[in-house]
């Protein structure tokens, strides 16, 4: 089964996304902050990571860099979630190694599509 690592400090969004993805047949591991997310990823490397940019203890960008630097997770798709969509933010995300970028507020349907697309891209 596909495993998703979801790091997001807003409980509503965490529940919303994990509900959506679980229904789509994906196993979701949640973390409420960046540091926990890295630990989770070390314990069991996920197939894909959804990271909020602004989180306590470690920002999503730092988590992203960390995942990229770890061999087990270096190649997985990483999608960033953020409330801001300025060009600098986008560039920073891609520079950190993100594969995609979803701006909050987002459409749940769109989010699922992006996750599936990212997974598909890797499978090919």
- Residues making contact with other proteins (CB under 8 A): 10, 12-13, 15-17, 19-20, 23, 33, 35, 54-59, 83-84, 86-88, 90-92, 94, 104-110
| 35 or 123: CB nearest other proteins | 35
CB of 103 to other proteins, least distance (A): 9
| 13 or 123: CB nearest other proteins | 13
DSSP 1-59: --EEEEE-S-HHHHHHHHHHHHHTT-EEEEESSHHHHHHHHHHS--SEEEEESS-SSS-
- Among residues 25, 73, 77, 34, the alpha carbon closest in space to that of 53 is found at 34
CB of 13 to other proteins, least distance (A): 6
| 95 or 122: CB nearest other proteins | 95
The dihedrals phi and psi of 103, each to the nearest 5 degrees, come to: -95, 130
């Amino acid at each position: 089964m596909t495993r998703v690592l979801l790091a997001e400090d807003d409980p509503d969004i965490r529940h919303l996304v994990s509900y959506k993805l679980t229904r789509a047949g994906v196993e979701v591991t949640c973390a409420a902050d960046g540091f926990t997310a890295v630990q989770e990823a070390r314990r069991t490397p996920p197939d894909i990571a959804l990271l909020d940019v602004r989180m306590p203890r470690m920002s999503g960008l730092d988590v992203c860099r960390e995942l990229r630097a770890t061999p087990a997770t270096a190649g997985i798709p990483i999608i960033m979630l953020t409330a801001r969509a300025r060009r600098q933010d986008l560039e920073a995300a891609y520079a950190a190694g993100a594969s995609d970028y979803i701006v909050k507020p987002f459409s749940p349907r769109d989010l699922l599509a992006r996750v599936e697309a990212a997974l598909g891209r890797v499978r090919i």
